[in-house]
């Protein structure tokens, strides 16, 4: 995928899961942390959304926040929202957490933006195909999400740094 035509325009990344309270806010928080560490917060814009509408207006799941905080990531200040058709025009990358989210996004996505939609794990070297939903389950699910998100986020940052020559 090519960077934006205007080199001064930031690259915009949207992470998407089902409800926007566990996986995509975790990805947003972890990736924001990496982007800040790299000094690229003025060149990369990050957001998250859900394919479903039943968590709109809610903060991230408290278990996701606690697991993230133990690794030094801050998920506070995020509020769940639903992905919109306009997001496909605004964002350069629309990254799904799993195959179902990917199918839902592809159904919603205008044809001219289809190249922007892919699995977040496509940037991972682990071979994982999805970041599984930890909502129903114990704390180990949130730890697995963090492991997969950290790996994919490192790969995504490397990819974007190449685009930005940074």
Which is catalytic among the residues 6, 9, 17, 103?
17
Map tokens 């996004």 to a residue: 105
Q: Is 133 a catalytic residue?
A: yes
Which is catalytic among the residues 47, 61, 87, 133?
133
Residues 6+ apart with CB under 8 A from 90: 12, 14
Please tell me the distance from the alpha carbon of residue 83 to that of residue 131, in angstroms, as a whole number: 18
Residue 3 class from Cβ within 10 Å (0-12 exposed, 13-18 middle, 19+ buried)? middle
Of 126, 127, 131, 106, which is closest to residue 116 (Cα–Cα)? 106
Which is catalytic among the residues 22, 23, 43, 92?
23
Q: Sheet harboring 93-96: ordered strands across?
A: 44-50, 11-17, 93-96, 117-119
Q: Is 17 a catalytic residue?
A: yes
Active site amino acids? 17, 23, 133
């Amino acid at each position: 995928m090519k960077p934006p035509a205007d080199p001064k325009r930031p690259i915009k990344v949207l992470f998407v899961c089902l409800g926007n309270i566990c996986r995509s806010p975790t990805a947003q928080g972890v990736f924001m942390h990496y982007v800040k560490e790299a000094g690229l917060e003025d060149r990369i814009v990050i957001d998250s959304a859900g394919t479903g509408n039943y968590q709109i207006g809610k903060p991230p799941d408290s278990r996701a926040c606690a697991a993230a905080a133990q690794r030094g990531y801050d998920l506070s200040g995020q509020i769940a929202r639903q992905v919109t058709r306009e997001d496909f025009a605004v964002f350069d990358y629309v990254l799904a957490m799993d195959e179902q989210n990917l199918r839902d996004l592809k159904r919603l996505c205008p044809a001219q933006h289809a190249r922007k939609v892919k699995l977040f794990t496509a940037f991972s070297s682990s071979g994982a195909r999805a970041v599984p939903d930890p909502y129903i389950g114990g704390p180990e699910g949130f730890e697995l999400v963090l492991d997969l998100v950290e790996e994919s986020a490192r790969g995504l940052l490397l990819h974007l740094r190449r685009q930005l020559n940074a």
